[in-house]
């Protein structure tokens, strides 16, 4: 079971920063998970929200910033003053730093409001020798279909919300045409669904584990990956 550090090791360091990703690697995570948004000048920035307000000292939409201006923001002090030097990374920087060291699960955020982001992400990934260990995920099926059209061998994960959880055989067959993995909310998990998803050739990931008790429960399932804010919940026993 892959341990996937959600926005890096985000319980202990500011999410989606080098500090959080370095910590996840040190802790022995198998993958880092991160979120991407386009800047005004079409660079792919690593940030969860579509505004910079919550996770930096700036304000306004990410797409209202050029990369130069975005890079001036402090992306760590909101979490703790010791992280004041953290900056919002680009996807290119992350792949340069980590693609040979750890798996990378890239989530495309709000694709309907970010025209062209799928192609921009695939173009960056293509600069690296990608393998099973770089994946793209989204809540948006159309975005993943576009990713597969640009890069058929790039692995993808479809993130499923409970409201969409009527996994009929027809739906699973459809999902398996553009997704290599279903990433399900932890409240949706049961053994029957796990087996059924596997029978359609897809892996099962679970998001997002934030406590030891849930982590221990997840260890009893035959799942392929678990997204967590705190990798040590799982790695103590490694
Ligand atoms: O891996 C799934 C998870 O990252 C989706 O939720 O809001 O944390 O990006 P969010
Ligand atoms: Ca995410």
The answer to whether the CB of 33 is under 6 A from ligand 1 is yes
Burial class (CB in 10 A: 0-12, 13-18, 19+), 155: buried
Q: How far is CA 158 from the centre of its chain?
A: 11
What CATH code is carried by the domain that includes residue 204? 3.20.20.190
Q: Whose CA is nearest to atom 1 of ligand 1?
A: 207
Mutational pocket test of ligand 1: of 20, 30, 33, 179, the residue with most ligand atoms within 8 Å of the beta carbon: 33
Q: At what angle do helices 117-126 and 141-150 cross, to 10 degrees?
A: 40
Q: Return the active site residues.
A: 6, 48
Range of the domain at 205: 2-235
- Using one digit for the tens of pLDDT, what is the confidence trace for 152-207? 999 999 999 876 667 888 999 999 999 999 999 998 888 988 999 999 999 999 99
Task: Tally Cβ neighbours within 10 Å of residue 36.
Answer: 26
State which H helix or E strand residue 35 sits in: strand 31-38
Query: In angstroms, rounded to a whole number, what is the distance separating the alpha carbons of residues 120 and 96?
Result: 16
**Helical spans, DSSP H, in the chain:** 18-27, 67-70, 91-98, 117-126, 141-150, 169-175, 191-199, 212-218, 232-235
- Which atom of ligand 1 has the smallest separation from the CA of 48? 9
- Give the global pTM: 0.96
Query: In angstroms, rounded to a whole number, what is the distance separating the alpha carbons of residues 160 and 148?
Result: 18
Q: How many domains does the chain have?
A: 1
Mutational pocket test of ligand 1: of 31, 35, 161, 226, the residue with most ligand atoms within 8 Å of the beta carbon: 35
- Using one digit for the tens of pLDDT, what is the confidence trace for 49-79? 999 999 999 999 999 999 999 999 999 999 9
Arithmetic mean of pLDDT over the chain:
94
The answer to whether the CB of 183 is under 6 A from ligand 1 is yes
Q: Name the nearest CA neighbour of 155 among 137, 128, 129.
A: 137
**25, 101 contact by CB (below 8 A):** yes
């Amino acid at each position: 079971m892959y341990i996937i550090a959600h926005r890096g090791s985000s319980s202990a360091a500011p999410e989606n920063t080098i500090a959080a990703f370095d910590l996840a690697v040190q802790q022995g995570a198998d993958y880092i998970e991160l979120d991407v948004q386009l800047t005004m000048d079409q660079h792919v920035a690593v940030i969860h929200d579509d505004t910079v307000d919550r996770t930096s000292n700036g304000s306004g939409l990410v797409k209202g910033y050029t990369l130069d201006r975005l890079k001036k923001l402090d992306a760590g002090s909101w979490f703790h003053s010791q992280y004041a030097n953290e900056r919002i990374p680009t996807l290119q920087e992350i792949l340069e730093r980590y693609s040979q060291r750890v798996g990378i699960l890239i989530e495309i955020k709000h694709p309907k409001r970010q025209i062209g982001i799928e192609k921009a992400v695939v173009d960056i990934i293509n600069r690296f020798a990608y393998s099973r260990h770089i994946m793209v995920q989204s809540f948006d099926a159309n975005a993943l279909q576009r990713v597969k059209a640009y890069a058929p061998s790039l692995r993808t994960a479809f993130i499923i919300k409970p409201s969409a959880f009527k996994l009929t055989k027809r739906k699973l067959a459809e999902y398996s045409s553009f997704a290599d993995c279903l990433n399900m909310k932890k409240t949706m998990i049961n053994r029957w669904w796990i087996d059924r998803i596997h029978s359609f050739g897809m892996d099962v990931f679970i998001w997002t584990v934030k406590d030891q008790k849930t982590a221990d429960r997840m260890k009893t399932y035959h799942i392929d990956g678990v997204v967590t804010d705190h990798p040590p919940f799982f790695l103590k026993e490694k």
